[in-house]
Amino acid sequence: MSADLIDGKAHAAALRAQVAAAGARFNAERGRPAGLAVVLVGEDAASRVYVASKARATLEAGMQSFTHRLPAGATQEEVLELVVRLNADEAVDGILVQLPLPPQIDETAVICAIDPDKDVDGFHVNNAGRLAVGQDGLVPCTPLGCLMLLRARHGSLAGLRAVVVGRSNIVGKPMARLLLAQDCTVTMAHSRTRDLQAVVREADILVAAIGRPLAIPGAWIKPGATVIDVGINRIEDPAGSGKTRLVGDIDFDSAVQVAGAITPVPGGVGPMTIAVLLRNTVVAARRRAGLGADAILCP
């Protein structure tokens, strides 16, 4: 048996086309494009690449892109002052502060300073609370992207047993809440779960988000399960070439022989994260303008 590959690039391209169409409608209705502001503090190489790709994708979707760069030595007060200005800027519908931040800056304080209605990352405590109680809010991009992939694969998820490995506020917890809202029976596992192998083996849907390379082997996976690998880990090439390669939290080579469907790394969840960020920006723009969410962008 060989699993079907879930093509995140293709799904993301389709979503981005929908976002562009919804953005064009917003522009026609409001006389301006939706706007996304990204704040980058410092010179982290990976963060620079992520910010550049987000800015490019925003422009390709027909939206305005505002990139604000602060030096690595910026104070927390300087970052907070910038966030306050962006909160008040009517051209900005979404604000994203690229993480991680330098050690002198309190990430929680910065996230909490963002207007929840512009919090397109979905990290603000107000949006986390809205998700927890089933109210409309802005949902973290990666979990929502995973949900979209799962619904494209299965249609209804009702009654399926889902296991989420990882309990972060960014992926694990919101993922579990999204699956519960879809009427899955959800188990959240983590580093202290007893007999993790047995728990994983129960999953019709397995979402791995623990940040440890190749941590879950194929032998743990229920035959025919749908596997969503959120992990992005860089490891040395075992061939000894001195190069590195990207792998997920799932041992793909063994899992692909057991699972019914699986996301590759790269090319699985990653492209969906940026596509959902664009989706969240248009949704935020419409809600701020009193227009309601565009139907095509509803998960």
| Cα angle 250, 255, 258; round to 5 | 150
Residues within the annotated binding site?
166-168, 232
H or E element in which residue 23 lies: helix 8-30
User: If we measure between CA atoms, which residue out of 194, 269, 257 comes closest to residue 231?
Assistant: 269
Q: Which residue has the tokens 């963060």?
A: 47
DSSP alpha helix (H) spans, 155-268: 172-181, 196-201, 252-255
CB 270 within 8 A of CB 229: no
H or E element in which residue 247 lies: strand 244-247
Scored b (16 or more CB within 10 A) or e, 52-66 reads eebbebbeebbbbbb
C-alpha–C-alpha distance, residues 233 and 275, integer Å: 21
Give the residues across from 195 on adjacent strands: none
Whether 121 is catalytic:
yes
Where residue 224 falls (left for φ over 0; alpha for ψ -120 to 50; beta otherwise) is left
Helix (H, G, I), strand (E, B) or coil at 183: coil
User: If we measure between CA atoms, which residue out of 206, 255, 260, 251 comes closest to residue 233?
Assistant: 251
Q: List Cα–Cα distances, 109 to 87, 99, 101, 122, 258, in angstroms.
A: 15, 13, 11, 15, 44
CA 210 to chain centre: 14
Whether 54 is catalytic:
yes
- Exactly one of 98, 115, 119, 204 is catalytic; name it: 98
- Exactly one of 119, 121, 204, 229 is catalytic; name it: 121
Active site residues: 54, 98, 121
